[in-house]
């Protein structure tokens, strides 16, 4: 199979020979596996991916680490070998920890990218299946429709009104009409190859079957991959703010350090000592671990969200989710189960209950039209009953698994339940053209050739829209002109059915006297014969009710925006608790008449919008945003893309969403479920909370260290902590607890608070005061230990330093528990809810004891063994500050 072939030249038969597939069965599964092995996966390789080695080396490119390396070299030159070695060891240890964090973050983000990667519908062994687009091979028969991204280069085999946006490849912004006919001219440029589809372009209208001719790097996209804009790893607003904070802290701490060093030298300390102290102080003051922990916490958070079916496409979404004040959601499938079944029908001027296998003759015609006027495929072949004559031979457990839009599969299922075969129906009545459904048109029609070779238009759609196109009505098989009374009766029946929370579709047809040409049937959707109404029940999801209640508790307003009828929408919204009984619903017609300003004034009060077209969605988001709301909005169709883009958080449906809607979204719901959004909001809030927790922890600890050195130097005392000890605390013992705080389970019920203001500083709600006061207390405790050792116990300098050093470490290890909650004291939160923290504190404690008790380390750290009295002092000084602050 040559890659360079001009596939547009060949006709269907030649293509089948060339690519060895059949038009009805595609490839066999075995052959597909073999070709996957031969041609490789259908992916565009990314050349600039960070390798493991680069990640490791990057850890040492940090400004602070450079300074430390310089310090280590200097100590070496000055003959202070133990200092040089210990600094180096600490740098390596710190680098390793950073590497593990970044590697994990990269891994989990890559795994997420994979989760969000598109699927493709392919026919193998004659059956339709959905596979990961990466598994496509040349010769695969694929099915594409509006909203799909073309997953590989392919040649069209059959099509109905296909239009494609190829701007990505050709730069041409008008959509291109495609055909299945071969073109008899060589050397065409891409834009002229009207029977070809190219990877990465988007289907804007119609549908087609096509055969894959090239995959991965062999596609046109693969050839120009290096030209494509890569999605850079952009920082989230919070990461950016933290970076700014980091810069600010660097300047501040450098000034402080310089000051301390100057005072120290003036007070007679040795220059080398003060240089080393300065370096370690700079390290102490700069929370260099912060950005790495933030990234890891975000990555772990999004991984957790993906396990809960919320796949994050843009990291910013995690932060913005926590701030969202309004969640605008579709109804069908998101707030409802999407497990529909036909309950009532209106035919022959009566509403009748639908019973499977019951009055099938009466129901057959309306369901025949509705079923054929759809895009449903069988996942498995029909299992035919040997008793074909028996009525209802398709018992509910012998109906094959169906694939397609749930409204349509429900109709096909109901058709089976009248005892008829859908496969036979498709054979008897040939669909020769189709005008597809979209949320804008709210109807779908097909041009059908009957067994008597006559052509008819069959149509189904929103009741009002179909009814206004009807000229006749069919009653007991007799066609008569439709009267105003008939229309009023039909609308009344529609209201009654909608009032029972049914989703109602009208069904009609139009026979043609002369055989019209097989072209787009859209322009014949008039002079219709009304057949009846089909009412389907689509119950609200149980978990959506709880999620709605949870939204209200968390100060978030849930808003339903649906294409469905206003009464159906209102009943479902009431059942879900979105609006009170009799609550107001705004319809698309009312909205259209409203000026933007008026909409802006009313938008705060409206909870349910019905019969809304996608462009109205955009107006609603705009109005909400202008009111200062942070809007999360769901969508699935191609036309929803602008609204999803405009929203603060666009949310696409994983199952029924189009590729185009997924691409513009920040979040994808793998289960299309509203409750998943609310869970994601909760997770977003928790993550932000956790980030605040460890920032508070790290900064308070840093202030404590700076302060103890500062006090020591100002008092003219020897350094209370050795540079190596300061480095140890900063780069080793407080890193793990900070990380564990980042992974804390919620200790405050975040869903009982109102959303946070996105402009709010990370230090708001009194955090600065808390950081400073706790920092001062830690600093005082450390100095107190040092002074008590010298003046009360008459200890030597090394012992005094060991006491100060241990007090500093253990104060921090106590304090970390108090950082877990802003509302509760540490003794009110069960310890077992964060086992990471217990583990981290345990490891840090063991490491600290090792530094004192293992002779190998104590030599480098110049520590001394402490007696029980000294340990008691250390213990008391370490815990009092945390207890005092929490009591206050
Ligand atoms: P939501 O926007 O909440 O998902 P929805 O699914 O009802 O609600 P649309 O898919 O835009 O919204 O459908 C709008 C209307 O179009 C429906 O109420 C129905 O009358 C009609 N409709 C829906 N699906 C089809 C279809 N497959 N064929 C014909 N008409 C349809």
Best CA proximity match to 533, nearest among 511, 563, 508: 508
Evaluate: CB of 83 within 6 angstroms of ligand 1.
no
Task: Write down the pLDDT at residue 187.
Answer: 77
Selected residue with higher pLDDT from 438 and 366: 366
Ligand 1 centroid to 565 CA: how many Å? 9
Evaluate: CB of 253 within 6 angstroms of ligand 1.
no
From the alpha carbon of 465, which atom of ligand 1 is closest?
20
Evaluate: CB of 532 within 6 angstroms of ligand 1.
no
Rounded-to-integer distance, Cα 799 and Cα 786, Å: 9
Catalytic residue from among 83, 140, 148, 330: 330
> Mean pLDDT, to the nearest integer, of 4-19?
84
For residues 494 and 310, is the Cβ–Cβ distance under 8 A? no
| Nearest Cα residue to atom 5 of ligand 1 | 563
Evaluate: CB of 442 within 6 angstroms of ligand 1.
yes
Q: Is the pLDDT of residue 232 over 50?
A: no
The best mutation among 408, 438, 505, 568 to test binding of ligand 1, ranked by most ligand atoms within 8 Å of the C-beta, falls on 505
Beta pairing partners, 503: 536
Size of the chain, expressed as the number of residues it contains: 888
pLDDT band at 113 (very low <50, low <70, confident <90, very high): low
The best mutation among 334, 371, 528, 563 to test binding of ligand 1, ranked by most ligand atoms within 8 Å of the C-beta, falls on 563
Task: Write down the pLDDT at residue 402.
Answer: 85
Ligand 1 centroid to 534 CA: how many Å? 13
Helices assigned H by DSSP within 534-613:
542-553, 566-576, 588-593, 596-602
Evaluate: CB of 639 within 6 angstroms of ligand 1.
no
> Mean pLDDT, to the nearest integer, of 696-715?
86
Evaluate: CB of 437 within 6 angstroms of ligand 1.
yes
125 is catalytic: no
Selected residue with higher pLDDT from 157 and 289: 157
| Nearest Cα residue to atom 2 of ligand 1 | 562
Most confident listed range (7-21, 49-63, 257-271, 741-755): 7-21
pLDDT band at 175 (very low <50, low <70, confident <90, very high): confident
For the ranges 82-96, 278-292, 687-701, 832-846, the lowest mean pLDDT is seen at: 278-292
Angle (nearest 5°) at CA 32 between 30 and 35: 110
> Mean pLDDT, to the nearest integer, of 433-448?
87
Evaluate: CB of 444 within 6 angstroms of ligand 1.
yes
Task: Write down the pLDDT at residue 48.
Answer: 55
Q: Is the pLDDT of residue 684 over 80?
A: yes
| Nearest Cα residue to atom 4 of ligand 1 | 332
> Mean pLDDT, to the nearest integer, of 504-514?
91
Q: Is the pLDDT of residue 25 over 90?
A: no
Q: Is the pLDDT of residue 230 over 50?
A: no
From the alpha carbon of 463, which atom of ligand 1 is closest?
20
Task: Write down the pLDDT at residue 360.
Answer: 59
Mean pLDDT, the chain, integer: 84
pLDDT band at 3 (very low <50, low <70, confident <90, very high): very low
For the ranges 168-182, 332-346, 404-418, the lowest mean pLDDT is seen at: 168-182
Task: Write down the pLDDT at residue 784.
Answer: 92
Q: Could you tell me the end-to-end alpha-carbon distance of the chain, in angstroms, rounded to an integer?
A: 77
Evaluate: CB of 564 within 6 angstroms of ligand 1.
yes
Ligand 1 centroid to 171 CA: how many Å? 34
Task: Write down the pLDDT at residue 600.
Answer: 92
Reported pTM: 0.80
Task: Write down the pLDDT at residue 90.
Answer: 74
Evaluate: CB of 406 within 6 angstroms of ligand 1.
no
pLDDT band at 2 (very low <50, low <70, confident <90, very high): very low
The structure tokens 């979204």 sit at 665
From the alpha carbon of 503, which atom of ligand 1 is closest?
18
Ligand 1 centroid to 173 CA: how many Å? 29
Evaluate: CB of 313 within 6 angstroms of ligand 1.
no
The fraction of the chain above a pLDDT of 90, given in percent, is 33
Q: What Rg value do the Cα atoms of the chain yield, rounded? A: 35
From the alpha carbon of 330, which atom of ligand 1 is closest?
3
Ligand 1 centroid to 443 CA: how many Å? 8
> Mean pLDDT, to the nearest integer, of 337-346?
91
Selected residue with higher pLDDT from 202 and 90: 202
Best CA proximity match to 381, nearest among 720, 52, 725, 123: 123
Best CA proximity match to 435, nearest among 425, 445, 427: 445
Evaluate: CB of 443 within 6 angstroms of ligand 1.
yes
The structure tokens 């890569």 sit at 230
Ligand 1 centroid to 50 CA: how many Å? 45
> Mean pLDDT, to the nearest integer, of 408-431?
90
Ligand 1 centroid to 342 CA: how many Å? 15
Q: Is the pLDDT of residue 470 over 90?
A: yes
Evaluate: CB of 619 within 6 angstroms of ligand 1.
no
The structure tokens 């969605």 sit at 617
Q: Which helix (H) or strand (E) holds 93?
A: helix 81-115
pLDDT band at 286 (very low <50, low <70, confident <90, very high): low
Task: Write down the pLDDT at residue 231.
Answer: 44
Half-sphere exposure of residue 4: CA atoms within 13 angstroms, side-chain side:
2
Evaluate: CB of 405 within 6 angstroms of ligand 1.
yes
| Nearest Cα residue to atom 16 of ligand 1 | 442
> Mean pLDDT, to the nearest integer, of 72-94?
77
> Mean pLDDT, to the nearest integer, of 556-561?
95
Ligand 1 centroid to 532 CA: how many Å? 17
Task: Convert the pLDDT of each residue in 180-193 to its tens digit.
Answer: 888 888 878 788 88
Rounded-to-integer distance, Cα 141 and Cα 155, Å: 10
Q: Is the pLDDT of residue 434 over 80?
A: yes
Task: Convert the pLDDT of each residue in 763-808 to its tens digit.
Answer: 888 888 888 988 999 999 999 999 999 888 888 889 999 999 999 9
The best mutation among 461, 607, 617, 653 to test binding of ligand 1, ranked by most ligand atoms within 8 Å of the C-beta, falls on 461
> Mean pLDDT, to the nearest integer, of 241-260?
78
Q: Is the pLDDT of residue 347 over 80?
A: yes
Evaluate: CB of 617 within 6 angstroms of ligand 1.
no
């Amino acid at each position: 199979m040559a890659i360079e072939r001009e596939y547009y030249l060949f006709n269907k038969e030649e293509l089948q020979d060339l690519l060895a597939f059949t038009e009805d069965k595609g490839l066999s599964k075995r052959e597909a596996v073999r070709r996957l092995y031969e041609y490789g996966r259908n992916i565009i390789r990314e050349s600039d991916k960070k390798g493991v080695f680069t990640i490791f080396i990057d850890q040492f490119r940090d400004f602070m680490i450079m300074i430390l390396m310089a310090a280590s070299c200097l100590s070496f030159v000055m003959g202070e070998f133990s200092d040089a070695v210990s600094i180096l060891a600490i740098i390596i240890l710190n680098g390793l920890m950073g590497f593990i964090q970044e590697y994990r973050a990269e891994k989990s983000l890559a795994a997420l990218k994979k989760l969000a990667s598109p699927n493709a519908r392919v026919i193998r062994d004659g059956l339709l299946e959905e596979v990961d687009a990466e598994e496509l091979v040349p010769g695969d028969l694929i099915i594409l429709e509006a909203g799909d991204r073309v997953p590989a280069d392919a040649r069209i085999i059959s099509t109905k009104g296909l239009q494609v946006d190829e701007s990505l490849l050709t730069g041409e912004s008008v959509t291109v009409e495609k055909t299945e006919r071969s073109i008899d001219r060589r050397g065409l440029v891409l834009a002229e190859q009207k029977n070809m589809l190219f990877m990465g372009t988007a289907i804007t209208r119609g549908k087609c079957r096509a055969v894959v001719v090239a995959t991965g790097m062999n596609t046109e996209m693969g050839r120009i991959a290096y030209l494509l804009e890569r999605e850079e790893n952009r920082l989230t607003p919070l990461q950016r703010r933290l970076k700014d904070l980091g810069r600010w802290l660097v300047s501040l701490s450098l000034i402080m350090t310089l000051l301390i060093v100057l005072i120290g030298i003036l007070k007679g300390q040795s220059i080398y000592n003060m240089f080393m102290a300065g370096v370690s102080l700079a390290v102490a003051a700069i929370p260099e671990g912060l950005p790495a922990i933030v990234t890891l916490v975000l990555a772990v958070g999004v991984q957790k969200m993906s396990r809960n079916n919320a796949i994050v496409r843009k990291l910013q979404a995690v932060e913005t989710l926590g701030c969202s004040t309004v969640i605008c959601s579709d109804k069908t499938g998101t707030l409802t189960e999407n497990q529909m079944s036909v309950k009532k029908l209106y035919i022959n001027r009566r509403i009748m209950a639908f019973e499977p296998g019951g009055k099938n003759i009466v129901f057959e015609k309306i369901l025949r039209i509705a079923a054929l006027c759809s895009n449903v495929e069988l996942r498995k072949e029909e299992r035919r009953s040997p008793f074909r004559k028996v009525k209802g031979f398709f018992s509910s457990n012998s109906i094959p698994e169906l694939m397609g839009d749930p409204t349509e599969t429900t109709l096909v299922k109901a058709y089976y339940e009248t005892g008829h075969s859908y496969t036979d129906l498709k054979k008897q009545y040939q669909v020769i053209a189709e005008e597809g459904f979209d949320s804008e048109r709210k109807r779908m029609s097909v041009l059908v050739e009957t067994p008597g070779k006559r052509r008819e238009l069959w149509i189904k759609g929103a009741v009002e829209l179909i009814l206004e196109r009807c000229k006749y009505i069919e009653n007991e098989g007799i066609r008569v002109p439709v009267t105003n009374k008939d229309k009023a009766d039909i609308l009344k029946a529609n209201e009654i059915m909608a009032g029972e929370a049914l989703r109602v579709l009208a069904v009609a047809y139009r026979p043609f006297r002369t055989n019209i040409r097989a072209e787009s049937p859209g322009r014949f959707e008039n002079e219709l014969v009304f057949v009846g109404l089909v009412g389907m029940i689509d119950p609200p999801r149980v978990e959506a009710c709880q999620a709605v209640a949870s939204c209200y508790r968390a100060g978030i307003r849930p808003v339903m925006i649906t294409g469905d009828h206003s009464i159906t929408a209102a009943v479902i919204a009431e059942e879900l608790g979105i609006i009170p009984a009799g609550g107001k619903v705004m319809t698309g017609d009312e909205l259209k008449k409203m000026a933007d300003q008026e909409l802006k004034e009313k938008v705060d009060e409206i909870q349910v919008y019905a019969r809304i077209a996608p462009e109205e969605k955009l107006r609603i988001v705009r109005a909400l945003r202008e009111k200062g709301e942070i809007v999360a909005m769901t969508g699935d169709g191609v036309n929803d893309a602008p609204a999803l883009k405009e929203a603060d958080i666009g949310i696409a449906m994983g199952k029924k969403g189009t590729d185009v809607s997924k691409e513009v979204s920040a979040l994808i719901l793998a289960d299309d479920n509203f409750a998943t959004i609310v869970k994601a909001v909760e997770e977003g809030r928790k993550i932000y909370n956790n980030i605040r927790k460890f920032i508070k922890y790290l900064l308070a600890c840093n202030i404590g260290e700076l302060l103890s050195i500062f006090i020591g130097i100002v008092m003219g005392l020897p350094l209370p902590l050795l540079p190596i000890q300061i480095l140890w605390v900063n780069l080793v013992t407080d890193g793990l607890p900070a990380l564990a705080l980042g992974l804390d389970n919620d200790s405050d019920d975040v869903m009982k608070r109102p959303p946070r203001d996105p402009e709010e500083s990370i230090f708001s709600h009194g955090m600065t005061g808390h950081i400073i006061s706790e920092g001062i207390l830690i600093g005082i405790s450390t100095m107190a230990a040092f002074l008590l050792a010298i003046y009360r116990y008459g200890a030597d300098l090394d012992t005094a330093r060991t006491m100060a050093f241990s007090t500093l470490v253990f104060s921090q290890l106590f304090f970390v528990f108090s950082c877990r909650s802003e509302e509760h004291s540490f003794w009110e939160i069960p310890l077992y809810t964060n086992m990471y923290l217990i583990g981290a504190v345990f490891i840090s404690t063991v490491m600290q004891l090792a530094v004192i008790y293992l002779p190998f380390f104590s030599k480098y750290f110049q520590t001394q063994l402490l007696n029980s009295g000294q340990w008691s002092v250390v213990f008391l000084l370490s815990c009092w500050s945390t207890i005092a602050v929490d009591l206050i």
